[in-house]
Structure formats: C-alpha cells, structure tokens
Homo-oligomer: A and B are copies of this chain.
Amino acid sequence: MSEFTVVEVGPRDGLQNEKTPLSVDDKVSLITRLVTAGARRVEAVSFVNPKRVPQMAGAEEVMEQLPRDAGASYIGLVLNRRGLDRALAAGVDEVNVVVVSTDEFSTRNQGCTVAEGISAALDIVREARAAGVFSTVTIAASFGCPFSGEVAADHVVDIVRQVAAAGPDEIALADTIGVGVPAQVRALAAGAGRVASEIPLRWHFHNTRNTGYANALTAFDLGAAALDSSVGGYGGCPFAPAATGNIASEDLVYALERSEVSTGIDLAAMVETAEWLAGKLGQDVPALLGRAGPFPGPA
C-alpha cells in the first residue's frame, strides 16, 4: 500500500455556496469531526470579505477554537494581502492563495485582473515564507471558465511558470466549474512539469458533469502530491454559475483505498460526518458511498 494525502476542503469550498451559513460552533464541530475521521490537511477557513461571502464569516473565531494538538494542518484561503494578514494573525498552518485564469472571472471573483492576481500571489507567497507558513497557489478555472469558455492549457502553464518564480510550496490546478476531462489533466501535468518540475502539484476537481473522479484518479496516476475533496461532495463557487459539488471525500477515498492506496481516512466516520452535515444544511448528501454502502460489505 502506498500512502496519499487527501486535502479536506469541505469546511471552505463545501460551505461557501450554501444558503444558510453554518455557525462558528458548527464549523468547529465539522472540522473536529473531519480531523477525528483522519483528515490531516483541512482547508478550514477563508479570509475573504464576509460581506461578499457571508458563509465564510467568523474565520478568526473558528481558528481559535480548533484542536491544535491532533496533528492536522489547517489551511486558510486568501485572495489578497488583507486576507494574508488575517490568516497569519489567526495562526493558520498553511495559506492557499487563489489566482483566477481569466480576466473576466478574476474580476468577478476577486476584483483584479489575472496579471494583478499573479502579482499579489507572488507577494503573498514570499510573505508566507517569511512567516514560516506553508503556501499553495491555486489556479482557478484551469480547465475552463464560466464566462470566457475554453482556457488553453498553455495559458494555464504560463501562469504556473509565473507563480513558480516565488517558490510556493505547492501549486494547485482547479477545475472550478467541473468541465475538465482526463486529457486536460494530462496536458496540464505535462506542462507544469516542464516549467515548474520542482513544485509539488495539487489538484481540485468538481464533479459537475461526472468527470471529477476520472480527473482525480488520472492526476493521482500522474504523481499528484495531493487531491482536494469535500466531505459529502458539497460545494460550489458563489461567483460562478452552476458550479456544483466538489468531488466527495468518501467517494474519492473509496476509490483510492480499493486501489491499494492508504489515505488514513476512516470511511465510516467520513460517511457519518457527511450525514451530520446534511442535517445541518438541510440537504441530501451528494456523495454516493453513503447511499450505496461499502464494498465488500460488513462480514
């Protein structure tokens, strides 16, 4: 069995599009359950403007109350310098800074052009390193844009090349709206390998059109350093139309474990956490494993 790290993004991407924001207490409960289920990297909070994304309000309060002795690394999403300052003050273990691949989506998502986003990311990565904090740059809409349509792999690879100059600890390629296919994963992995072979690649997939798991397993086969997934498969982007659920942690873990890959995740505990969250959100679990049951079933 090989070992592999799944990055649990449910508390951030899973919740940011839900109609009813979870309370700080419920967020802390969710993250604690995920860590108990075995999650070792958790995208716990987002330091965005709570007026724009009310679901992500209370990031500092959440960070204060999280268990810090359980071996989990907590990631804070940031879009700009103000977000970084908040993240560092709140004591995150990692920052994940987002660059969007097209001007139109970037402007809607974070009020800047792609070039401005790259410039901000370079500064943030350098500041994070100075503060001793692990940094990831996520390139959103790497597989297609809800406003501009097709996004060429070469364009994304050029952004990878530019952000790699600051030496982030990791670069993540995100299919924010769930349009990608494995052929794109292969093209992007090859391109990133050409311009930034020294930087580990993480991947972020949505299952909007049923290609998310195929993409994730392809990225795994190509040597991904990490894959994002969301407990229950909740999620979406508030600034992208019809961007539905992330790939679900339990379904991804099922596929990996049945492929002789150890994730450290307790599948039953993950399924239970998804059901608990479904109750809080008043929404059925999008993931399939909880409905279908494990295989082989209980002896």
Contacts and interface: CB of A to CB of B under 8 A. Distances in A.
A178 B183 CA distance: 24
A51 interface: no
Given A181-B259, A259-B183, A242 B209 contact: no
Interface in A276-296: 287-289, 291-293, 295-296
A210 B287 contact: yes
Interface residues of A, number: 40
Question: Which 6 pairs from chain A and chain B are nearest by CB?
Answer: A149-B296, A214-B214, A210-B251, A179-B295, A183-B259, A181-B258
A210 B144 contact: no
Given A183-B260, A217-B182, A260-B183, A255 B210 contact: yes
Interface string A50-70: 000000000000000000000
B258 A295 contact: no
A4 to B, nearest CB: 13
Given A181-B259, A183-B258, A260-B183, A210 B297 contact: no
A260 B296 CA distance: 36
A213 to B, nearest CB: 5
Please report whether the interface of chain A is mostly helix, strand, loop or mixed according to DSSP: loop
A198 interface: no
Nearest to A177: B295
Interface in A207-244: 207-211, 213-214, 216-218, 221, 242, 244
Nearest to A296: B149
Contacts of A295: 144, 149, 177, 179, 209
**How many copies of this chain?**
2
A184 B258 CA distance: 9
Given A144-B295, A296-B150, A214 B255 contact: yes
A178 B184 CA distance: 25
Interface string A97-119: 00000000000000000000000
A134 interface: no
A263 to B, nearest CB: 13
Interface string A186-202: 00000000000000000
A213 B288 CA distance: 14
Interface string A152-185: 0000000000000000000000000111011110
A248 interface: yes
Given A182-B259, A183-B258, A293-B242, A208 B288 contact: yes
